[in-house]
Structure 1
Amino acid sequence: MTYRFTRLWARVLVITGSIVIVLGVLAAVAVGIAGPDLTRYASDLDPRVTRVVAVVLGATAAIVVGAPLIVAGQLLDAFLDQRDILARIHRRLRKKRAGASVDDRSRLFPPRVARR
């Protein structure tokens, strides 16, 4: 089994997380450069401070939303890679076991396993 569908979704998660982060940071920069007047909601605050706070919150929100998507996609891809590696090891061990005879006098294996 190749798990192509699952690998596709792992890549989609990584790409989606990256896009969310990039767009969020770009939106934060846009708010910082030519954003709306944020002091109309709280007129007693300094406009520069409110704009800086909006930029920091926007960039932080983008990272908080996008980073878990990237991590989930990479973790899923790592699990699939691990499965492929373990399947390859299992195939090699099965080939070796088919060609070799098991010594019943071996102390490395319990008696049940040595009889197989």
Structure 2
Amino acid sequence: MTYRFTRFWAVVLVIAGFIVMGLGVIAAVAVAIVGPDVTRYAPTLDPALARVVATMACAMAGLLVGAPLIVTGQVLDAFLVQHDMLARIHRRLRKKRARVTVDDRTRLFPSRAARR
């Protein structure tokens, strides 16, 4: 099995994570340049401090949403690569086992039938 569907979604998760993080940075830059008028809703706040807090909130939101998407996609891809490696090892061992005959006298732990 190739697991193409699962590999596709692993790549999609990584790409989506980078896009979300990029959008968070773009939103942070937009907030820093344009800046919301937060002081209209809370007149006691300093406008510069409100702009810095809003900028940091946008950047952190992008990071907090995008990073788990990237990690999930990479872990999923690592599981699939590990599955491929184990399948390859299993095929090699199965080919070797077909050529080797088992001698009960050479076993470290012989079966009960061989001990009698």
Q: Deviations over 1:29-76 (max 9, x none)?
A: 110111222211111110000000001111111111111111110011
**Count of residues in correspondence between the two structures:** 113
Cα pair distance change 1:94/1:19, threshold 3 Å: same
- The answer to whether the aligner puts 1:75 opposite 2:71 as a matched pair is no
- In structure 1, distance between residues paired with 2:109 and 2:4: 38
- In structure 1, distance between residues paired with 2:9 and 2:105: 50
- Which residue pairs with 2:94 in the alignment? 94
- In structure 1, distance between residues paired with 2:110 and 2:57: 61
- In structure 2, distance between residues paired with 1:109 and 1:3: 39
- In structure 2, distance between residues paired with 1:103 and 1:48: 82
- Which residue pairs with 2:6 in the alignment? 6
- Which residue pairs with 1:59 in the alignment? 59
- Which residue pairs with 2:15 in the alignment? 15
- In structure 2, distance between residues paired with 1:44 and 1:79: 52
Q: Deviations over 1:81-100 (max 9, x none)?
A: 01000000000000111111
Between the two proteins, what is the percent identity of the paired residues?
71
Structure 2: stretches of 5+ with no match in the other structure: none
Q: Secondary structure of 2:103's match?
A: coil
Which consecutive aligned stretches of 4+ in structure 1 deviate over 4 angstroms post-superposition? none
Cα pair distance change 1:53/1:110, threshold 3 Å: farther
TM-score, reference length from structure 1: 0.91
TM-score, reference length from structure 2: 0.91
CA RMSD of aligned residues (A): 1.6
Q: Which moved more, 1:100-109 or 1:44-53?
A: 100-109
Q: Which amino acid aligns with 2:26?
A: L
